[in-house]
Amino acid sequence: MTTHNENNDQAQQLVLGFQSAPRPPLELRLRVLSAVDYAPGDNLRARIKSVATRTFCDEQTGCDYQFTWRTISTWLYRFKKEGITTLDNKTRSDKNAYRKIQLNELAEAINEVLPTLSLNKTGLIPKSVLFRQLISKDYFQRSQLSQTSFRLKRLLLVSHG
């Protein structure tokens, strides 16, 4: 079992980005879902929010976990829809796949697509529209560029110009 000081050190490491939180084991996730059945509340949402305030301890590692109501809700939905296998830890399907594109390649494609787009009501071109256009005009495949990395790279382009 970890002490209070060790927990503080772990929390500081997580905030500072030195160590990532271990993924909760399947057994712990099942305990969380079971707790929803017995939690106080008039409806499912109230019971989920009640469970979200609790802390769950993994007996094997001694790690304490607290989950957001949204995480618990997602687990419950997936469990009801697909069964226990959806709760198990899986590796990403694109793990070790090459995704990166060169920044200058992206800049060139953005510069070609921008003139064809019109501004929205606030006078901006939404990043999601730009992303969709880059994909639809076959500048990139969806597997090469995710919306989140695209946003980060676009910010780099705008700031470094």
For residues 156, 157, 160, 161, the Cα torsion angle rounded to the nearest 10 degrees is -170
**For the segment 81-93, what is each residue's pLDDT rounded down to a tens digit?**
888 877 777 777 7
- Provide the pLDDT for residue 3: 42
Q: Quick one: angle between helices 147-160 and 127-136, nearest 10?
A: 110
- Provide the pLDDT for residue 43: 95
pLDDT > 70? residue 14: no
- Provide the pLDDT for residue 131: 83
Nearest to 2 by CA among 11, 112, 23: 11
User: Would you kindly state where each structural domain of the chain is located, as residue ranges?
Assistant: 4-87, 103-160
Beta strands in the chain (DSSP E): 56-57, 64-65
Place of tokens 């992206």: 106
Q: Residue 145's pLDDT band (boundaries 50, 70, 90)?
A: confident
Q: Residue 21's pLDDT band (boundaries 50, 70, 90)?
A: low
- Provide the pLDDT for residue 6: 46
Rounded average pLDDT over 64-80:
92
Q: Residue 153's pLDDT band (boundaries 50, 70, 90)?
A: low
pLDDT > 70? residue 155: no
Nearest to 157 by CA among 99, 104, 112: 104
- Provide the pLDDT for residue 54: 94
pLDDT > 50? residue 2: no
Cα separation, 79 vs 15, whole angstroms:
30
Q: Residue 1's pLDDT band (boundaries 50, 70, 90)?
A: very low
Tokens for 138? 């076959």
- Provide the pLDDT for residue 19: 47
